[in-house]
A and B are shown apart, each in its own frame.
Chain A
């Protein structure tokens, strides 16, 4: 799922400074699962904003709402009725959702209440780590199911570099060396010989480097 983290309250306060009637919109998708922008977080942020405003001696009216998803137009329509009567929308969805709201609700500013971080997994309750960089050209079949782009700090395709020590990356002793993981897994699978061939040079044009991406399924278009 997409992992995000709530922005510091002070930052959100600064963004909403010109407004006193806002919507705080959560999302029941990824950000609920990673506890960054679901109904609970909408409630916590809204309380915090109201309290902070009261301390400043100003008022703040907040409509708290949590949409099914913010990346599908049909679900955004749930806000259509009342959205324009507010002055701004603070969205706690991932960056994609926030932008979609901004596209579909054009009258007022749409502000990000979270920082969208990465595509990842829940290693345990409360701990999420990155797994995928959406490079558009998956090579997981060649690296034992471990991604060299996302899990190696240098995205090496023929790693590890000389800084790998004790299975950890040179940048942080808490970060696992992606290539140690790949090596161990390939050894487990009995496929170490595959690593002796140099991996070919990456075509980054399918990644962000090639420009904003689009995918179409003609058979689904109405």
Chain B
């Protein structure tokens, strides 16, 4: 599908990943507008149900981005998230969606470039995997809405 633009949902913790995203913006780094950010106080707040719901609502890929292991602002939240992501990957595999469409990443608040890199990496990966199987089954062609994202630099290409 030539015009497939993945919808990627990123659950980001306020203290690290979301701040890194902010930094990426101020540094004028390019990252795809395919990535829709959801801010959480901590990735430890992520529930397996949220991850699955994202796919039910049409996400082609999802990732959870938290603090570096050992540096979680709430001590162990990112470890809990890691295990829940692992569980959700298995559920997605069993459901026929594919566990590869969900990932966990870690970064510090200072890692603006890393945030952008992850966003690019994940978007590209999902692009290769194609639209979520629930859309393929419906024979739906899908293109992401190209909304202006105030974090993406002016005139940025995706």
Contact = CB atoms under 8 A, between A and B. Distances in A.
Contact of B52 (A8, A47, A55, A56): A47
B134 interface: yes
20 contacts: A9-B91, A43-B52, A44-B52, A47-B49, A47-B53, A47-B55, A47-B91, A48-B91, A50-B56, A51-B56, A51-B95, A52-B95, A52-B96, A54-B137, A54-B138, A55-B134, A55-B137, A56-B96, A57-B137, A57-B138
B137 A40 contact: no
**Chain B contact residues: helix, strand, loop or mixed:** helix
Interface of B: 47-49, 52-53, 55-56, 91-92, 94-97, 133-134, 137-138
Q: Which are the 9 A-B pairs with shortest beta-carbon distances?
A: A47-B52, A54-B134, A55-B96, A9-B94, A52-B95, A57-B137, A51-B95, A43-B49, A55-B133
Nearest to B83: A126
A10 interface: yes
A90 B49 CA distance: 18
A48 B52 contact: yes
Contacts of B56: 47, 50-51
Nearest to B96: A55
A8 B94 contact: yes
Contacts of B53: 47
Interface of A: 8-10, 40, 43-44, 47-52, 54-57
B94 A55 contact: no
Contacts of B96: 51-52, 55-56
Nearest to B133: A55
Contacts of A50: 56
Contacts of A10: 94
A178 to B, nearest CB: 31
A54 B57 CA distance: 12
B134 A51 contact: yes
Given A44-B52, A47-B52, A48-B91, 17 more contacts: A8-B94, A40-B47, A44-B48, A47-B55, A48-B94, A48-B95, A50-B56, A51-B96, A51-B97, A51-B134, A54-B133, A54-B134, A54-B138, A55-B96, A55-B97, A55-B133, A55-B134
